[in-house]
Amino acid sequence: MRRVARSGRYLLAGWLVLAAGAGCAAGAPAPQRTAGTPPSAPAAASPTASGSPQAQARQAYLGMWQAFVAASRTADFQSPALAHYAAGDALSLLTHGLYQNYQDGIVTRGQPAFDPQVAVTSSSGSAAQASVTDCADSSTWVNYYKSGKPAPGEARGRQRIYARLQPYFGVWKVTYLVVEKVGTC
């Protein structure tokens, strides 16, 4: 299993800064990046939004990736949208990957595809948590140097992602993130 923790050395075909084999953190794989496209504003996701906790957690998970993909287009490691959807180790992983891409002059183009399965749990006396299992496809998410030249990176394709979310002051956030290598789903 890969962790998203190292710098965003390679955004899997432009979407997951999954630092290939390097110092992983928080048990989450680093997302990969691609260059070139202007960022788009992420949709709001919070437990106060309409819908079940499962729907709200799913919306937050997808919002995190939307914010990450938008930030990856310019390697914006300071994007405030990321903190709206992620916290703790997951946020550190994402921002570290983007920072590495920023240092390397790498941006992403394209859009990964997600298919998350969400389960919400809560034991008596403890707060609700959500677990996500996803089989994401990074085949159309590609890394480029800011000059427009394609950047080397990891293989692109389908990969398993595991995430955990918790509500923080009424807003669901991803707190744990693991992105496995291509071909795991």
When pLDDT is cut at 50, 70 and 90, the band that residue 8 belongs to is very low
Residue 3 inside a domain? The answer is no
The whole-number pLDDT of residue 51 equals 79
pLDDT over 50 (residue 38): no
Q: pLDDT by residue (tens digit) across 153-184?
A: 778 999 999 999 999 998 999 999 999 999 99
Separation CA 39–CA 130 (nearest Å) = 27
In a domain, 4, yes or no: no
**Can you give the residue range of the structural domain that contains 172?**
12-179
Handedness of CA 156, 100, 29, 86 (dihedral sign): negative
Would you say residue 1 lies in a domain?
no
Residue 7 domain flag: no
Average pLDDT of the residues in 43-68: 80
CATH number at residue 145: 3.10.450
pTM, two decimal places: 0.75
Asked whether residue 2 is assigned to any structural domain, the reply reads: no
CB 179 within 8 A of CB 31: yes
Interval 88-115 mean pLDDT: 96
* Count: domains in the chain: 1
Question: 133: left (phi > 0), else alpha (psi -120 to 50), else beta?
Answer: beta
Q: Is residue 120 part of a domain?
A: yes
Instruction: Give residue for tokens 């405030």.
Output: 80
How does strand 106-110 pair with strand 117-121? unpaired
| Residue 163 resides in a domain | yes
Asked, for residue 124, whether it belongs to a domain, the answer is: yes
Mean pLDDT of the chain: 78
pLDDT at residue number 13:
32
